[in-house]
Amino acid sequence: MLLGVLQEARPTVRRSAQITQGRPAPTRMMRSHNDSLLAVAFFKDGRRVVTASHDKTLRICDMQKGSLVGGPFEGHKDYVRSVTVSPDDRRIASGGDDKSIIIWDVETKQMVFDPLEKHTGWVLSVCFSPDGKRLASGSHDKTVVVWDTETGGVLATLDSHNNSVWSVAFSPDGLKLASGSADHSIRIWRSDSAELLLEINAHQHWVRSVVWSPDSKQLVSASFDKTVTFWSSDNGHQIGQSCTGHTYHSLAISSDGSFIATASDDKILRLWSTKTHKLIGQVLEHATLVRCIALSPNGELLVSGDGEGKVLLCSIKNILEQHNAEEEDEDEESQQDRLSFSESQVCSYSSLCCSFIHPLR
């Protein structure tokens, strides 16, 4: 059976990514599962990704080779909805509709503990802390649970949401934990004491995904109200305009914080500038709806999973370089316009002074 899956997984390789009508061609496509993909995450090496599926398993793909190199990881009894990789690349955590969380050893492909059971509903999101010592999980049962990854014990249960918690994310500095919910809100907690710091009434529909900026000063949220919005993590105020265009399922931010990537039921993946909140060209299109998206640590590769169990890898380096060049040109033009305006003001002021002084001669 595994041999058959490996044969199916051989990639369809196309020419290197080129910008064609604003859309670079995908570099590699492969099938990692025989059922819909629900979650995907990069390893720090930027080559491997782990995928989670309706088929109740996880698999590790080497996207450069276009082959499966790990799995299937079998242990969940229902859909696997969320997956995350530890900061040292040695462990994977997954959560599913069986209401459990499993922490896996990457090398042995075995469970580190028996399945962690505390939630009474589907586990919709999991996230390691930056030091790897804690794991946060969000659930259909309206709670966030923080776990000790060394013992598997529960450190805290956060229960102030009024509906399902679709997304959890530790801040890069490790000091805060954010949760996004179907109650339309984002909550920010102190990660050491579980104290609720901030509640943001963020959207008109479910908050489907939340991510932090690298400096931990902003949060970005994606919602079924067809917007992606930026927030100050200090006071909860909105920053700039929202990104609008499609119903968002998944959201990822680059390691340098310069852009975000979004995936949606409309089959389209999009990139957005975190500076202007404007679209950076149309990246690519799947044949079916897209449920998950991730960016490589160097920000040059985008990987996504669709409803047919296919993983699509795309090099976005060219489109980002073109965008950066265009932004530089716009900045130069703006600078020249400001200079011209300033010179015009000086000339006008000089003329005004001359015309005022002239009658007195």
Q: 160-176 burial string, b = 16+ CB within 10 Å, else e?
A: ebeebbbbbbbbeeeeb
Q: Residues of the chain with pLDDT > 70: what percent?
A: 83
What value does the mean pLDDT of the chain take? 85
Average pLDDT for residues 317-345, to the nearest whole number? 66
- Decide: 169 and 178 in contact? Cβ < 8 Å: yes
- Which pTM does this prediction carry? 0.84
Domains of the chain plus CATH, in order, are 28-328 (2.130.10.10)
Question: What residues form DSSP beta bridges with 8?
Answer: none
Is pLDDT larger for residue 5 or for residue 300?
300
Distances, alpha carbon 269 to alpha carbons 23, 264, 290, 318, in Å: 10, 7, 8, 16
Q: Which of 107, 112, 110, 60 is nearest to 83 (CA)?
A: 60
Average pLDDT for residues 206-230, to the nearest whole number? 96
Write out the two tokens for 129.
């802390």
Q: 103-115 burial string, b = 16+ CB within 10 Å, else e?
A: bbebeeeeebeeb
pLDDT tens-place string over residues 165-183: 999 999 999 999 999 999 9
The pLDDT of residue 119 is above 50:
yes
